[in-house]
């Protein structure tokens, strides 16, 4: 296999406009050549992108400082303030062994200290500058994940519901108290019997026109609000989601206007006792996040003023008339939930932060730890073993890929909050659902892999894998169960597919579907399916085409299956029959988006050494994913057997190459020791064991 020691250049638009006649002639020569000599023939690309390959198998020289500068977000300064504040306050650092009740009180003191002592006020950034808010959230979550979630409940959920679902009167009344923590609050959506199916919530809010009030009721135990963060101990208010019931003059007596949000005081501002008609209980000890006080709320004829209805999308007048700018219950419900996607954006972004910490600890330890070696020679680092590289290097590549993808999501979300563009709202809703589901699932699995990769020492609580794994695990469930979110992605893809064939326009994010339906669904080219040259396999065009081809095949085939099964099973039965297919489709699409954003980030990198490193990592991410689903590509003859073997061989070699710069790559995350807080993952390797033994008392 030939290689060329050339750098990955930064192309311009003109680079892609190669003379068409020359391209046609070149392709014909390649096809003839392959038929005459059925061996690997390096292709000529449709662009003149020069690829970094591995001539001489030399290690790339990476300037970790330059790489960090490129990776660094524009809000790194406020993250440093968070890190420095908690590093200077040992009394606010979470100890290894702490009871549930003590952890909850510490978590509250941490949040109060951040806001009142450190002067970091996240609330105003929720709408004004979401990227800054998410940067604070990531930093706070690295101090203690419980603290990150508690902050998210206060500002993103409770505060965000007031800002996003309320009107000026609500902001004027509650903003300052939420901002300075005088009004700690909750987000009471989930019920004992209903979580993902929000339209099925049973709590009711009935309007009383005689007293100009709403009456909040829990009609049965299944409607008890459950898992409500901040409710068990600290919350004084709750945004309660309930069905709005209006009295009518017909035989029904009341009219159901759908789920709305209401501000309900739950504790006395002075005594902190539960208010009349409100029953509060503790959900108890959890698998993780025990610094968050999750509670259950039950309402018995609790009266609140009519003004406590968060009425941005629908209101009730003094005489009991309902008004809304949106024509139906479904439209109002969609608008309401659409304003709450910030929670998913935050979870996806924070999950990458958790993955960075875990992979940093695991890689540093794997470089430090030595075990076995050739006869009569020194022991070698465990990261020199192919099996360890296989566990950790694709994970390191994925961490970089997720970093760029979630940064793009935050940018899109911020743009959506500024512009309120309808197309952008749909894009962000689907992208946030897909990335939240995909990234949190991947991180959850990776935390166990990191623990295993660090052997017995990975099992020590002080080295953090256990607490990271337990605290992060619920990320797969709250703010939307991952399986449900992936179905939303699949449904949106099918909607776009249908509109394409009805002559509609596709939004920018989905443009590739138009091309894929016209191009990728044709029979695979028997010539290119056999190309196995390194330059070809490392060409971003090949990689992205492969990802998108798979998505397009999955989309077309599931559309055909749904049409077929709906005739006998109905639409719901057909969807359930094809559910696993739909989930695979959604994951495939999200992987395509992640790769596209990674390729863009590589092309945009101004520093040559950092760009070379990122190109290597991007290639590993792409080829490892292709190899993991090689059966799909083989089944449709997109990849011939010889090419499949070449992909596997190259992905293993790229893991080895990434191993050679693994230290610089994890240093690129800029996580100081007081953030990683794991002795075996310390930056100064020679100090790792001495720090570790100190915890045991030596």
DSSP secondary structure letters along 111-147: HHIIIIIS----TTHHHH-HHHHHHHHHHHHHH-HHH
User: Where residue 501 falls among pLDDT bands split at 50, 70, 90?
Assistant: low
Both tokens assigned to 397: 């590549």
pLDDT at 387 over 50: yes
HEC letters along 73-86: CCCHHHHHHHHHHH
pLDDT at 622 over 50: yes
Residue 229, marked binder: yes
Of the candidates 176, 147, 148, which has an alpha carbon nearest to the alpha carbon of residue 162? 176
Average pLDDT over residues 30-41: 40
Q: Report the DSSP beta bridge partners of residue 281.
A: 296
CB 364 within 8 A of CB 453: no
Tell me the C-alpha distance between 650 and 653, whole Å: 5
User: Where residue 328 falls among pLDDT bands split at 50, 70, 90?
Assistant: confident
Of the candidates 480, 482, 489, 475, which has an alpha carbon nearest to the alpha carbon of residue 198? 480
Separation in Å, CA 476 to CA 47, 141, 446: 40, 16, 13
Secondary structure (3-state) at 221: helix
Phi-psi category of 220—alpha, beta or left, where left has phi over 0 and alpha has psi -120 to 50? beta
Tell me the C-alpha distance between 624 and 591, whole Å: 12
Residue 190, marked binder: yes
Give the single-character DSSP code of 61: -
Radius of gyration of the chain (CA): 27
Both tokens assigned to 386: 């192919």
pLDDT at 184 over 90: yes
CB 280 within 8 A of CB 266: yes
**DSSP annotation string for 92-115:** GSPPSS--HHHHHHHHHHHHHIII
Burial class (CB in 10 A: 0-12, 13-18, 19+), 79: buried
Q: Which residue has the higher pLDDT, 253 or 488?
A: 488
Separation in Å, CA 696 to CA 96, 414, 433: 13, 47, 43
Could you give phi then psi for residue 28, rounded to 5 degrees? -65, -45
Tell me the C-alpha distance between 436 and 290, whole Å: 22
> Residue 517: its pLDDT value, please?
58
Greatest C-alpha distance within the chain: 94
pLDDT at 207 over 50: yes
pLDDT at 27 over 60: no
Both tokens assigned to 250: 């017909």
Q: Report the DSSP beta bridge partners of residue 370.
A: 381
CB 654 within 8 A of CB 335: no
- Tell me how far the alpha carbon of residue 303 is from its chain's centroid: 39
Chain segment 39-90, per-residue pLDDT in tens:
333 333 333 333 333 333 567 889 889 999 999 988 999 999 999 999 999 9
CB 351 within 8 A of CB 440: yes
pLDDT at 663 over 90: yes
**DSSP annotation string for 416-476:** HHHH--HHHHHHHHHHHHHHHHHHHHHHHHHHHHHHHHTGGGGGSGGG-HHHHHHHHGGGG
> Residue 695: its pLDDT value, please?
84
Chain segment 508-517, per-residue pLDDT in tens:
445 556 555 5
Residues in the chain: 698
Average pLDDT over residues 296-307: 98
> Residue 256: its pLDDT value, please?
93
E strand or H helix that includes residue 237: strand 237-247
* Active-site residue set: 479
Q: Is the model's pTM score more than 0.85? A: yes
> Residue 642: its pLDDT value, please?
93
């Amino acid at each position: 296999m030939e290689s060329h020691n050339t750098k990955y250049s930064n192309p311009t638009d003109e680079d892609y406009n190669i003379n068409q006649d020359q391209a046609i002639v070149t392709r014909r020569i390649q096809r003839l050549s392959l038929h005459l000599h059925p061996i690997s023939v390096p292709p000529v690309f449709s662009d003149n992108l020069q690829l970094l390959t591995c001539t001489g198998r030399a290690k790339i020289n990476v300037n970790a400082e330059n790489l960090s500068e490129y990776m660094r977000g524009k809000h790194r300064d406020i993250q440093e303030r968070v890190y420095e504040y908690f590093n200077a306050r040992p009394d606010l650092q979470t100890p290894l062994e702490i009871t549930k009740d003590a952890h909850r009180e510490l978590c509250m003191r941490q949040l109060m200290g951040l806001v009142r002592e450190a002067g970091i006020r996240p609330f105003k950034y929720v709408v004004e500058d979401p990227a800054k808010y998410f940067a604070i959230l990531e930093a706070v979550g690295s101090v203690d994940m419980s603290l990150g979630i508690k902050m998210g409940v206060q500002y993103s959920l409770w505060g965000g519901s007031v800002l996003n679902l309320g009107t000026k009167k609500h902001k004027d009344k509650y903003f300052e108290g939420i901002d300075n923590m005088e009004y700690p609050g909750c987000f009471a959506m989930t019920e004992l019997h209903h979580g993902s199916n929000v339209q099925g919530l049973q709590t009711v809010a009935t309007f009383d026109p005689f007293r100009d009030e709403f009456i909040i009721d829990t009609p049965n135990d299944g409607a008890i609000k459950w898992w409500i963060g901040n409710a068990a101990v600290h919350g004084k208010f709750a945004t309660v989601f309930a069905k709005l019931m209006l009295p009518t003059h017909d035989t029904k007596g009341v009219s159901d206007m759908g789920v709305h949000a209401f501000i309900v005081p739950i504790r006395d501002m002075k005594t902190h006792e539960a208010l009349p008609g409100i029953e509060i209980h503790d959900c108890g000890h959890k698998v993780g996040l025990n610094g968050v006080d999750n509670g259950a709320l039950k309402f018995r004829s609790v009266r609140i003023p009519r003004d406590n209805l968060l009425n941005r999308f629908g209101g009730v007048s003094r005489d009991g008339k309902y008004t809304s700018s949106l024509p139906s219950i479904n439209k109002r419900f969609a608008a309401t939930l659409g304003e709450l996607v910030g929670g998913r954006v935050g979870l996806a972004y924070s999950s990458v932060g958790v993955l960075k910490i875990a992979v940093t600890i695991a890689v540093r330890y794997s470089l430090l730890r030595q075990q076995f070696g050739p006869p009569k020679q020194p022991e070698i680092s465990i990261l020199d073993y192919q099996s360890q590289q296989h566990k950790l290097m694709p994970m390191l590549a994925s961490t970089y890929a997720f970093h760029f993808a979630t940064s793009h999501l935050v940018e899109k979300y911020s743009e959506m909050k500024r512009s309120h563009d309808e197309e952008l709202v749909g894009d962000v809703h689907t992208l946030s659902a897909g990335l939240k589901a995909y990234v949190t699932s991947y991180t959850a699995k990776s935390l166990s892999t990191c623990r295993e990769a660090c052997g017995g020492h990975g099992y020590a609580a002080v080295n953090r894998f256990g607490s990271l794994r337990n605290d992060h695990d619920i990320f797969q469930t709250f703010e939307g169960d991952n399986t449900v979110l992936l179905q939303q992605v699949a449904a949106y893809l099918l909607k776009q597919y249908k509109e394409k064939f009805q002559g509609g326009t596709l939004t920018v994010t989905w443009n590739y579907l138009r091309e894929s339906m016209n191009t990728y669904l044709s029979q695979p080219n028997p010539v290119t399916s056999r190309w196995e040259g390194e330059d070809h396999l490392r060409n971003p065009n090949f990689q992205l085409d492969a990802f998108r081809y798979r998505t397009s095949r999955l989309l077309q085939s599931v559309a055909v299956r749904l049409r077929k099964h709906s005739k006998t099973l109905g639409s719901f039965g057909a969807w359930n029959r094809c559910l696993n297919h739909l989930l695979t489709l959604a994951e495939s699409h999200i992987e395509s988006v992640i790769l596209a954003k990674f390729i863009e980030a590589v092309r945009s990198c101004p520093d040559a050494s950092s760009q070379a490193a990122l190109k290597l990592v991007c290639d590993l991410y792409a080829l490892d994913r292709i190899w993991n689903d090689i059966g799909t590509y083989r089944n449709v003859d997109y990849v011939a057997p010889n090419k499949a073997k070449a992909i596997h061989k190259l992905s293993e070699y790229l893991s080895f190459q990434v191993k050679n710069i693994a230290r610089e790559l994890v240093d690129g995350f800029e996580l100081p020791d007081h953030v990683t807080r794991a002795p075996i993952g310390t930056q100064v390797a020679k100090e790792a064991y001495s720090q570790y033994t100190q915890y045991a008392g030596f």
